[in-house]
Structure 1
Amino acid sequence: MHLPHLITDLGLILAAAGVMTLIFKKLKQPLVLGYIIAGLLVGPHVGLFPTISEPENITIWAEIGVIFLLFSLGLEFSFKKLVKVGGASTIMAFVEVISMLLLGYLTGKLLGWSTMDSIFLGGILSISSTTIIIRAFDELGVKSQRFASLVFGVLIVEDLVAILLMVLLSTVAVSQQFAGAEMVTAVLKLGFFLLLWFLGGIFLIPTFLRRASKLMNDETLLIVALGLCLLMVILAAQAGFSPALGAFIMGSILAETTKAEKIEHLITSVKDLFGAIFFVSVGILINPETIITYAGPIALITVVTLVGKTISIAGGGLIAGQGIKTSVQSGLSVSQIGEFSFIIATLGVTLNVTSDFLYPVAVAVSAITTFTTPYMIKFSTPAYQFVERIMPAKWKRSLDEYSSGAQVVSSTSDWKRLLQSYVIQTVVFSVIIIAIVLLSAQFLNPFITENVINGTTGKLVTTAVTLVFMAPFLWALAVYHPLKEVQGRLWANRNYRSLIIVMEFVRIGIAVLFIGFLLHQFFPVQVSIVAGLVIIMLLVIFSKRIQSFYIRIENRFMSNLNAREIEEASRMHHTLTPWDAHLIRFVIPSEAGLVGKSLVDLQVREKYGVNVAVIERGNRTITAPTRNELIFPGDVLYVFGSDEQIESFRRFIEEECILPEVEGEKENVALQKLLVSGGSVLLGKSIRNSGVRSQTNGLIVGLERNGERIPNPDSELIFEEGDLVWIVGNPDRIRKLEASSIIDAVA
């Protein structure tokens, strides 16, 4: 019986990959390199082993592998993570990408390569390997160090930049030149579709998964997730983007749902399978003779990668005010290329715009820099010490002063907050309205005029239906005020009133223009003006109903957007997730500036928003320390607060004193949520007079009332029925309080 070549080739690929994974596991080397070598051995350029028959079929499998690889990266990405990335990581990522794009291009030109080869080389060198770095951090045990968190932020930004690069490189490849207008159009188009897909996906997909959850087991959830992934792949391809972009976007949307972890677990086997096929296909395309021929360029590009990435990231860190040590450690940690580099190289091959030698050169550089990564990370501390030793004292003082100045916590003015709110609203609602109008003109109107009713009446029906969908967003664009209190404070200042009035008229004017944009799709100008006036009157008449409809839409969207955090909050006992707050352990070194000072002198709550919940001093544990408690060398402080608050407090202390949260014999601290019931003796009492502190030997760090969250509540606040209270303290005392029936605890 004759087997199709597709099956025999697939069997050969997986067999070779399986053997190489065992060997590389034994050698404790990255499996990606094993897959590439497996592909090299079964490829057409090496005759020692059986060779695949039809490389074209493997290309199809490889494309599927790229799709699932980027889908899994999207599941780990999440746009909310990108929003939370600090300014320092963002600056470092952009400095690195711009520097490596330029260095790659100049290196290609120096080697006499074509313009397109040089451009793609810059793109290949600009993105580091998330997988390799995370694995190296795990093996070396440095994930809890300060520079590691910065590197993770850099990798998140790089993921998004890689998507942007894929679009821009495709545009350059098609036009074969740097056309400024085309580049700007490509970026705007990407931004439009990214925002539209994210908003639509968050509004629809979590709701669908939640309502269908009772029907879903592991099998159906996997099929639905893969179906959604491939559906977005089709939409991305129809919009003129890479299919891989669609997979990445759907992964990032599903990352915001309550099913994210489950989907990530279920998709792992599928991703590993097709990912292996992709990396084996990378090896199949390698010609060993090409690597030997281009050994010189490979060595040069490797040096450019190692040195260029180190210097650009370290320089970006210094620009961002992160200090010499953190900057050097970060730079030496990202000096390699990986998954996205392969995908960018594949893009050049697919578009047939790069030379045959570029792909194997990129793979060779990736292999070398992958091997060097752990050693570069280990070398980071001696490198920092060497730089600090040879640096002139004047330079060092200047950098320390700049770093201190750059890390000052600045407050955001009301005017800036209001302006940001207006800009975000205008962009978001404009994208939604434009998308509704374009979909109506391209799909709804032809359907109605061909299948329901034609002529002017059909256009009127189309306009009416479209307007129903547009109305809540038109109202929000022209009228909605998300920051009423801020606007009220600014309005009280006469200097800002004229500016606020101008912004209001601008918003209304943009809404009117969108009404005209809708009518212009179907009617002449004269008819559009009259109909526009009628529509504006109808919007005013039905304003309250439209407002109610929009509020429901917004509530649904925000509920879906925060669903994962809300579910995690209900599961986790030791984390105050509604405010993204948690406990972290600090050891106070003898040289720290806060030694010998009391908590009232330090004003940690007033300045940084954190609570010192527990102090461990030798064999003594001080829970809920008073304001007059002094800080001594060697004290262990359990500090409660959000990431930003803890980060601002951390700057008081040497970087080496942050330790990961560990469970030891002395760490007997818990965070418990309690509900004040109708029969509680706390009703009508203030926090100060309630006795909660003495009974639990703990500290009240948060309170929620009628949906409003109050971190660090004032001691004079009066308890009311239904209040949710969070207490940090000794678990045994809190459990005794729970059992006393004074307060009903809820899990």
Structure 2
Amino acid sequence: MIIAAATNTHLYPLISDLGLILMTAGVAVILFRKIKQPLVLGYLIAGFLAGNHFDFFPSVKDIKSVEVWAQIGVIFLLFSLGLEFSFKKLMKVGGTASVTASVQIVSMLIIGYGVGKLMGWETMDCIFLGVILSISSTTIILKTFDELGVKAQKFAGNVVGALIVQDIIAILMMVLLSTIAVSQQFSGMELIKSVAKLLFFLTIWFVSGIFFIPTLLKKAKNLLSDEMLLIVSIALCLLMVILADGVGFSPALGAFIMGSVIAETTQAEHIEHLVKPVKDLFGAVFFVSVGMLINPETLVAYAGPVMILTLVTILGQSLSSTAGSLLSGQPLKQSVQTGMSLSQIGEFSFIIATLGMTLNVTSNFLYPIVVAVSAVTTFTTPFMVRAAPAFADLLAKKLPRKWTKKIERYSANAQSIKSVSNWQVVLKAYMVQVVIHSVIIVAGILLSAKFVLPLAKDSQFGHALVALGTLVVLAPFLWALALRRVKVDEVLVLMQERRYRGPIIMMILLRFVLTLVYIGFMLNNFFSPEVAMIAFVSALALYAIFPKRLNAQYHRIENHFMKNLNAREIIRAKFTRSDLTPWEGHMAIFNIAKESNIVGKTLEELQLREDIGINIAFIKRGEITINIPGRTERLFPGDEICIIGTDQQVKDFRKFLTENEIAPPEKSVEPDIVLRQIEVHQEEFIGKSIRESQLREKTNGLIVGFERKGKRTFNPESQLVLQKDDILWIVGDRKRIARL
């Protein structure tokens, strides 16, 4: 009884607090959906009302429990973000997004740090402020694009690419901030070690994750229901959270890594759909918990810094992003649209501010100031996006003509430079080869030495067996590092030029020397130097004897990895046709509504190219894809069509689809149809068949039932002859049946 009472006492605040949080969050969702404002802002206000700083509303009792829920919320937010933005997608965004995001982040880091210093803040507050102001809000931007209907425009793709780069850099900066916070100094070596450690673990987690997890999900596909798939996905997420925390990284980093790994599987969209309600639930708790930390007294006391930082965020983000986009070679209008879209801070800023509070390195006033700035910039984002085209046109008119000409010329030249030299291709391939295989080999050696070797320490031949096993497992990777040929055709071309022969030979020798170093490092971990030397010579002999077998084994491993890595792209290959979009044109996908007037018409009848100027690249109908459809191809309900056109043409096509959708009537009128039972008494019906009696015409209905002397017939034939006292069931117009 005592235990039960204690348990109830402990559970009651937890349950009541969670109920209060979700109740206020639910009310906020309804209200902010009604007034068409971002839900994140509603959650913040709900948290303020449920917090201890607002006396006219029930308050949360156990703040510690809420902090635990909030940490879970951060984990699921980052897991979901990883599902949307994978590492592979980052590699595809190209230089445009990378340059835009890099210029923006570096600029805002400097501006944020400088503004903090001008306001007299401590150094650590200024560092965190610079990082906080440099990260735009993915959630708010995507929601704004969706509400304003600009997701299909070309600049939106540049913005999303920049957001992907920002999120990756934000993860890196969280690790660096943790290092700075612990050491309390800017140690160059410490930062280099932290970056190297991060890159090492990112590589090994990504490679091993892609190798094993898609295979696991594929093998168990027929066994996994939606419920089990959700459980397995969350289990994988939490496993990576534990691993990340175990090696000294943020748990949020582990969640992001696992999300990005699962994002490469064929079930990524399904898992994202299953995880979304969980993410929404705990994400709401996180944002509400952020709102609880808003102290009105602090906001009043720091109203000046809030206003200053709001202006700095809007102007600084807009200008730096526009400059970065221009530098990457985008036209003026798209650059301005990109810059003005990124002019806010959001969820990652909260997470970074929370990190500063958790590490106890930032002042108490920083967090509520960040929340206030985020709230204001959240409100301004839709207006900034909506005003961007007009402002870009105005800017183009006001700027000197020679400036606009230079921008146009630079943009045209930058977008036309797509060729990469053979030397760049070979150098990149060699770097990837060395880095990935080095990480795998070093990780294998360290894991074997730490976890496997202690198990065999009491055995007479334990060290030898562990060394042999490790050597066998790592043998394909050691062979690939030393001898695998990459970019053979490009290397042959370069070897014909004298200036490239020396560097290529040096790279080949470097790979071979690295392999010898790793073998020596491995054997030195298991044996004394003398024995290690003998084992080293034996290992080289084994590698010389079995080169073909090692080659075949490595290629099996590589093929399995590449198959898992590209499985999603193979399925979606029909959609990846960016080479079909010349100049200012780009691709956009639309769904043909079931109620549309264009359903059933051929492309020739629609005259889309002649009237709007767009071309249709392909039509997806279920599992069938019709590439470059002909003029006789018809559109069917639910078709997905990919069109190619400029922003204006895409906008015109969306308007065309909207105008051709059949709108439901303002007031639906229910047909006055009833089911009535009547008996046959009138002479005009007796002795006639149902068809001859014209009962259907007189009632505008159907005879669905017939009964004679207790025997019933459903849907009687029209040749049935009616007799007196027959009973009929008629479905028809109420008034006509009544008159009959």
Q: TM-score, normalised by structure 2?
A: 0.79
Question: Are 2:509 and 1:505 equivalent residues in the alignment?
Answer: yes
Q: Show the counterpart of 2:491.
A: 487
Q: Show the counterpart of 1:521.
A: 525
Deviations 1:45-95 (A, max 9, x none): 111111111101111111111101111111001111101012111101000
The 8 Å contact of residues 429 and 474 in structure 1, kept in 2 or not, is answered as yes
How many equivalent residue pairs?
Answer: 610
CA shift, 1:35, in A, is 1.1
> What is the CA–CA distance in structure 1 between the aligned matches of 2:583 and 2:410, rounded to whole Å?
25
Alignment of 1:302-313 (within 5 A): 302-313=310-321
Question: Are 2:42 and 1:38 equivalent residues in the alignment?
Answer: no
Q: Show the counterpart of 2:32.
A: 24
Deviations 1:471-508 (A, max 9, x none): 01011111111322222333344554343322221111
CA shift, 1:30, in A, is 1.1
Question: Are 2:85 and 1:77 equivalent residues in the alignment?
Answer: yes
Q: Show the counterpart of 1:330.
A: 338
Question: Are 2:378 and 1:370 equivalent residues in the alignment?
Answer: yes
Secondary structure of residue in 1 paired with 2:166:
helix
Q: Show the counterpart of 1:246.
A: 254
Q: Show the counterpart of 1:89.
A: 97
Question: Are 2:312 and 1:282 equivalent residues in the alignment?
Answer: no
Question: Are 2:264 and 1:260 equivalent residues in the alignment?
Answer: no
> What is the CA–CA distance in structure 2 between the aligned matches of 1:404 and 1:585, rounded to whole Å?
12
Which of 472, 477, 494 is the equivalent residue of 1:468? Answer: 472
Percentage of matched positions with identical amino acids: 53
Which of 51, 54, 67 is the equivalent residue of 2:59? Answer: 51
Deviations 1:604-637 (A, max 9, x none): xxxxxxxxxxx99998799xxxxxxxxx997544
The 8 Å contact of residues 128 and 336 in structure 1, kept in 2 or not, is answered as yes
Which of 123, 129, 135 is the equivalent residue of 2:137? Answer: 129
The 8 Å contact of residues 585 and 637 in structure 1, kept in 2 or not, is answered as no
Which of 541, 556, 578 is the equivalent residue of 2:545? Answer: 541
Q: Which amino acid aligns with 1:386?
A: L
Secondary structure of residue in 2 paired with 1:127:
coil
Between structure 1 and structure 2, the one with the greater Rg is: 2
Which of 402, 422, 432 is the equivalent residue of 2:410? Answer: 402
Structure 2, unpaired ranges of 5+? 1-7, 586-601, 620-627, 629-643, 658-740
> What is the CA–CA distance in structure 2 between the aligned matches of 1:68 and 1:635, rounded to whole Å?
44
Secondary structure of residue in 2 paired with 1:214:
coil
Q: Which amino acid aligns with 2:562?
A: M
Q: Show the counterpart of 1:387.
A: 395
The 8 Å contact of residues 127 and 162 in structure 1, kept in 2 or not, is answered as yes
The 8 Å contact of residues 79 and 255 in structure 2, kept in 1 or not, is answered as yes
Deviations 1:410-436 (A, max 9, x none): 322222211211111001100110100
The 8 Å contact of residues 608 and 615 in structure 2, kept in 1 or not, is answered as no
Q: 1:655 to 1:567 in 2, by over 3 A?
A: closer
Deviations 1:670-714 (A, max 9, x none): xxxxxxxxxxxxxxxxxxxxxxxxxxxxxxxxxxxxxxxxxxxxx
> What is the CA–CA distance in structure 2 between the aligned matches of 1:543 and 1:470, rounded to whole Å?
14
Q: Which amino acid aligns with 1:217?
A: S
Question: Are 2:439 and 1:435 equivalent residues in the alignment?
Answer: no
> What is the CA–CA distance in structure 1 between the aligned matches of 2:531 and 2:583, rounded to whole Å?
70
> What is the CA–CA distance in structure 1 between the aligned matches of 2:248 and 2:583, rounded to whole Å?
51
> What is the CA–CA distance in structure 2 between the aligned matches of 1:459 and 1:118, rounded to whole Å?
52
Secondary structure of residue in 2 paired with 1:20:
helix
Which of 139, 159, 162 is the equivalent residue of 1:151? Answer: 159
The 8 Å contact of residues 74 and 255 in structure 1, kept in 2 or not, is answered as yes
Q: 1:639 to 1:207 in 2, by over 3 A?
A: closer
Q: Which amino acid aligns with 1:529?
A: M
Structure 1, unpaired ranges of 5+? 570-574, 589-614, 623-631, 647-651, 666-747
> What is the CA–CA distance in structure 2 between the aligned matches of 1:15 and 1:138, rounded to whole Å?
27
The 8 Å contact of residues 587 and 659 in structure 1, kept in 2 or not, is answered as no
Q: Show the counterpart of 1:551.
A: 555
CA shift, 1:659, in A, is 6.0
CA shift, 1:547, in A, is 1.0
Deviations 1:175-230 (A, max 9, x none): 11111111111111111111110000000000111111121001110110010000
> What is the CA–CA distance in structure 1 between the aligned matches of 2:582 and 2:175, rounded to whole Å?
44
Deviations 1:503-532 (A, max 9, x none): 221111111111111112122333323321
Q: 1:657 to 1:245 in 2, by over 3 A?
A: same
Which of 327, 332, 347 is the equivalent residue of 1:339? Answer: 347
Q: 1:223 to 1:410 in 2, by over 3 A?
A: closer
Q: 1:535 to 1:129 in 2, by over 3 A?
A: same
The 8 Å contact of residues 585 and 638 in structure 1, kept in 2 or not, is answered as no
Q: Which amino acid aligns with 1:395?
A: W
Q: Show the counterpart of 2:594.
A: none
> What is the CA–CA distance in structure 1 between the aligned matches of 2:89 and 2:653, rounded to whole Å?
21
Q: Which amino acid aligns with 1:358?
A: L
CA shift, 1:262, in A, is 1.1
